[in-house]
A = this chain, B = another copy of it.
Amino acid sequence: MALKIRKNRSPEPPPGCPLTECMSVIGGAWTPNVIWSLRAGPRRFSELRLDIPPVSPKVLTMRLRGLEEKGVVNRKVRPTSPPSVEYSLTALGEELVPAIEAIVAVGHKIKQR
């Protein structure tokens, strides 16, 4: 009965390719903005929301969690009375700042047309 087995379905380029590997890190919506914002120093959750107004808390959380588990950002919970959580770039996270900078630089060039 025409049982199509499930065509490969590889929505993304082969994992293992460094290019793809990194794109999966910065590819999500708002991700570059988050990193860009963190680049200047540690930021709390709500501060990030202020830095990037249109992002919803859900997505911000998703990005932060994703980045955390990829070792790009640190999540430090401060046991204060009003809970506060501080996010910062790890060493690895710092590594991709230049990449983002390169992207921003090209962005300028593109805008100029």
Report which A residues bind B (CB closer than 8 A). 8, 10-14, 16-23, 25-27, 29-30, 32-33, 36, 52, 54, 70-71, 92, 95-96, 98-111, 113
Contacts and interface: CB of A to CB of B under 8 A. Distances in A.
A107 B36 contact: no
A20 B70 contact: no
Contact of A92 (B23, B71, B101, B109): B109
Given A13-B54, A19-B103, A22-B104, 14 more contacts: A10-B54, A13-B29, A13-B30, A13-B52, A16-B111, A18-B104, A21-B110, A22-B110, A25-B110, A26-B103, A71-B110, A71-B113, A96-B102, A96-B103
Contact of A107 (B12, B22, B33): B22
A31 B56 CA distance: 27
